[in-house]
Structure 1
Amino acid sequence: MSSMRPEERIQFPLAPETDTLRTSYNSLLASYSVVHRALQERTEEAGSLRTFLSKTDEWSGAQLLQAIHDLNSEIVQLSASVADEFSSSLDRSRDLTRTSDRELVNNALGPVMMNLLASRDHMADPTLVQFAIQAWEVSCVGKVLDAFCYGLPADVDQFLNGVFEHMHRAEPQPTSSRWRALTYTHARALLPTPAGGGQADPLRNLLDTNIRGLLAILALSGCTDSRGTHREPLRARFGAALVRIGQSAERIASAMKEGVMSTVFQVTWIPPRGTKRKEKEKEPERWFDWATMENIYAGHASERSRVLCTVELGLTCTRRTGPTAGDSDSTSQENGSLNGSVNGYGTNGSTGLNYERMSEPVLTRNLLLKPKVLLESVTDIL
């Protein structure tokens, strides 16, 4: 038997060298850094996807409808106030109309309404003058609501509208809506502001144009009151109301583009005939359609008539429902509820796109609020 003590027979391992431990630690630390960085990247990707796939709306359809109703009410109140204010001075003792006045308001009123303003005596009944002002205001705020981002150069705005239309057909609804929201937010941030932009501020420019249009309508109607023939008195009297209308339009535009992800809302109106193209004979007639418009004088005169002008805005809602084989006919019907376009110029006021390809998603448009229109046939009773 061995005379060695038990503790002498145990073989203890030699302590590892410090360099070996350091090497192992560095290797584990590097592996941890790689895994941690990969986890961060995946977390950022997931967060980005949540942003672009979120269908959470900050504004509901009911809220937008109420906002459009309120804006229409503001326009009606302003128009009635202006018409009443100057009705007694519409005596046509002098003709203060200028060519520039006609050119300014022609696209908003159309030649028929302009001739009615210039040829009739409105002193006893200024109703036509009120409707002309409403049509002018609809045109002014429509530019804000219909633009991708009001204040951008026209070619840039039209291009961005075209990009959104294409994306709306090709990408999931939340993705295209989020892209528009982000692009709108950053584009708007780069526009001139009242503090730094002075006269270049888009809303200030809108106010100036709006006042010039009111002056033009009053001049066409025979106004001889100096308060209605000069810019500053008119601005002092009605400038605050015009500013509120412009701000309301901008707030609604922001809500539709930044606050709604699950669908696409658009305001709609019917432009007067004779204004879209230079060649009148090539322009489609704008006849009254009970399914897409509301006659403000329903029950009076014939509704088999052309639209004279739009006096209150409407609202549509468009959803992308995904491709369905064989649904090309129904797609055309759904998207043709407003004659295949919105506001007579294709979706969002830019170039119209073809929705009738069977391989493409179905865009379903619902009319939530009909625009109110004045018909040419009704002018005989006014």
Structure 2
Amino acid sequence: MKEDSSSSSTILLFFFLYSVLVFVSSTAEAKIKLPGNETVPAVIMFGDSIVDTGNNNNLRSVVKCNFSPYGRDFKGGMPTGRFSNGKVPSDLLVEELGIKELLPAYVDPSLKPNDLLTGVSFASGGSGYDPLTSNLVSVTPLSTQLQQFNEYIGKLKSNFGEERTNFILSKSGVIVVAGSNDLANSYFTTGIRKLQYDIPSYTDLMLKHASAFVKELYGMGARRIGVFSAPPIGCVPSMRTLGGGLQRDCVHEANEAAKLFNAKLSAEIDHLNNNLPQAKVVYINVYDPLFYIIKNPTKYGFQVADKGCCGTGTLEVAILCNRLELHTCRYDSNYVFWDSYHPTEKTYRIIVRRVLQKYITRFY
């Protein structure tokens, strides 16, 4: 009996170790391989709620999510100010690149000097290229995010020296994610900009600010700059509810506006890439992969693409998506969207991996 017990223990130990090795191996394989001996020491994020990891938590704004059910699939079900059920693209990018597990918010009070070395997010949910967009909901505009970036650079220099700071700035992935709030909020939902501009002229205004922002980043030392396209904003659940009719279809006009802006942005990024010495400025198309998932949800294991998991899934977002919403879905992995505006972590993972596989070599 003792021999049998010993043999069983040995077998169990073997399978345990085997499982650990398989897990470690599969995790390592999931990491994106960089060309040559290149390295990405840090990821630095600017923009809106898609990449905000908690910068809005202490703002006097309705655009907040540091409460349940947000973060229910995050560590221990903790709401951290990430606009999702779990991780957001900021976290997934540093995870896939093997830098660290999570990308902290720059204003996180627990942030330590060493955290600065591997990057932070300056993004603020509700912000956009158009300065009006941030003002509408009292969040941190891109202009202030640049001021915070300048402060961040100063902290790097004082803690780690100018040489290391310049290395981090020139080698890090600096990512900008904005534009969706300009179209969805400032133009279509509130109609404020619609009174002043038609779609071609408003997308020109957005482009002017987007281009100026990239030039500012370059002037401050950034050299690997990725700029996300606008998503198919007409297909997010809230836009369907407000403008998609009884069938809650995608709002064609909003999607066409996003595509027009994207065409202009792509051309401008090409121009900047050719005219900013030693820089790699990359336009990153997220419109098409998200649109494909929305139109073909079952191919990715989703069941629902026109509503969010939170509440009724038709309008709930930010303070409207809260613990009092008794109808929040049980299995968010069946949903493309977490709330009426933001995708689930599962959706984000699919898109981030596709983006890295397609674009990572263009930064070198």
TM-score by length of 2: 0.26
Greater helix share, structure number: 1
Work out which structure has the larger RCO, using CA pairs closer than 8 Å and 6 or more positions apart in sequence.
1
